[in-house]
Amino acid sequence: MMRRHLALITTAVLVAAGVGPSHAQGADQVLLPDLRQAPVGCGGGFSGNPSWCVDWDVCPVADPAAPNGECVQVGPIGAVRLRFTTSADNVGDGPLLIHGSRADAGQREMTARQAFQSAVDGSIPMAYDQAQHPVPATLYYEPAATHEHWHLLGFEHFQLRTPSGDTVVTDRKTGFCLGDRYETRDRLPNRPTADDSPQSRLAAALQVNRCGHHSPGALSVVQGISVGHGDDYLHTVDFQWLDITAVPSGVYDVVNVVNGDRTLVEKSYANNASAMAVSIRWPGNATAPPATITIPPQVRLLRNCPGAERCAALRR
């Protein structure tokens, strides 16, 4: 009875997402991914105490227009950035696979479709036209020197929020190139192995996937994350930060959310967010930042709350 109940729920999700009966043929016909937002500020695959993670820092920069910039510790300081590594794991039953395509090189962006692995024969659609689920997000070519490949827009977002949940700062992230960058430590039955199965062949491709690197004229690209793997972006990468230049002293949540609009079909959406509570204090215990910043604020990690959008409001 429980199996039938779960199947009905998953079928409803597929239909709501636009995967019709002609493609899905019921929940038992496809293997869905499950995106888990890893702890904020932790490296990919980290399995220890998340409050010990050190993959975050405060980076004052002289040029507020720089996508990253060289960190300076004394003035002149044009902007102060809270940088952090973000990671998203796939702990589901099937791979996350996104196909991007455009008719000709004159189109600036590619449209995207999500493909699902068959639970019947294990096959995986390896072409855009075979992928079952149209995705509203698009892909575009990022020409910046540190990227020069195709980015999927809207995959993940970061915010700085008050303990009550009000948004103070939003990210300026422009997109993601997804691949198998690390392995998780979860025990998952459908993790790819060293065989010639469709999921293993896909995993071999995703391990080296660079999303059409140096190919602005590409007509198609593939992105994704295999079961038991994840994709991380280090805190030193462009736009892996929130601008705290004008943020008053106080306690805040750094919130990361993967697939926040739920346009990618997943087995579960319950684990798509993680939060890190931090204390921000300007020099001299000032309530607000000075008009001219010469010394950055002190930022202290209070606790890390994987799987939750609220962390600062929790009692110790």
Distances in Å between the Cα of 110 and the Cα atoms of 56, 63, 140, 263 are: 33, 32, 6, 16
| Closest by CA position to 256, among listed 158, 170, 161, 162 | 158
Distances in Å between the Cα of 262 and the Cα atoms of 88, 134, 135, 166, 229 are: 15, 13, 10, 21, 20
36 contacts: CB under 8 Å, gap ≥ 6: 88, 89, 90, 91, 258, 271, 272, 307
The confidence score (pLDDT) of residue 197 equals: 95
Whole-angstrom distance, CA of residue 15 vs CA of residue 64: 45
Other Cβ atoms less than 10 A from the Cβ of 26: the count is: 13
- By the 8 A CB rule, do 89 and 46 touch? no
The confidence score (pLDDT) of residue 293 equals: 94
Name the residue type at position 163.
P
The confidence score (pLDDT) of residue 252 equals: 98
The confidence score (pLDDT) of residue 315 equals: 61
| Closest by CA position to 216, among listed 64, 53, 105 | 105
The confidence score (pLDDT) of residue 129 equals: 97
- Residue-wise pLDDT for 55-114, tens only, equals 999 999 999 999 988 999 877 899 999 999 999 999 999 999 999 999 999 999 999 999
Whole-angstrom distance, CA of residue 20 vs CA of residue 311: 38
The confidence score (pLDDT) of residue 14 equals: 52
pTM for the whole thing?
0.90
The confidence score (pLDDT) of residue 135 equals: 97
Distances in Å between the Cα of 154 and the Cα atoms of 35, 96, 97, 239, 259 are: 14, 15, 15, 14, 7
Which pLDDT tens digits describe the chain residue by residue (316 residues)? Answer: 333 333 433 444 454 444 443 344 455 799 999 999 999 999 999 999 999 999 999 999 999 999 988 999 877 899 999 999 999 999 999 999 999 999 999 999 999 999 999 999 999 999 999 999 999 999 999 998 888 999 999 999 999 999 999 999 999 988 999 999 999 999 999 999 989 999 999 999 999 999 999 999 999 999 999 999 999 999 999 999 999 999 999 999 999 999 999 999 999 999 999 999 999 999 999 999 999 999 999 999 999 999 999 999 976 5
Q: Which two tokens stand for residue 10?
A: 């998953």
The confidence score (pLDDT) of residue 152 equals: 97
Handedness of CA 278, 288, 257, 67 (dihedral sign): negative
Whole-angstrom distance, CA of residue 100 vs CA of residue 34: 20
| Domain boundaries of the chain, sorted by first residue | 1-31, 32-305
Whole-angstrom distance, CA of residue 236 vs CA of residue 184: 22
The confidence score (pLDDT) of residue 73 equals: 82
Q: Which two tokens stand for residue 120?
A: 């019947």
Cα R_g (the chain), whole angstroms? 21
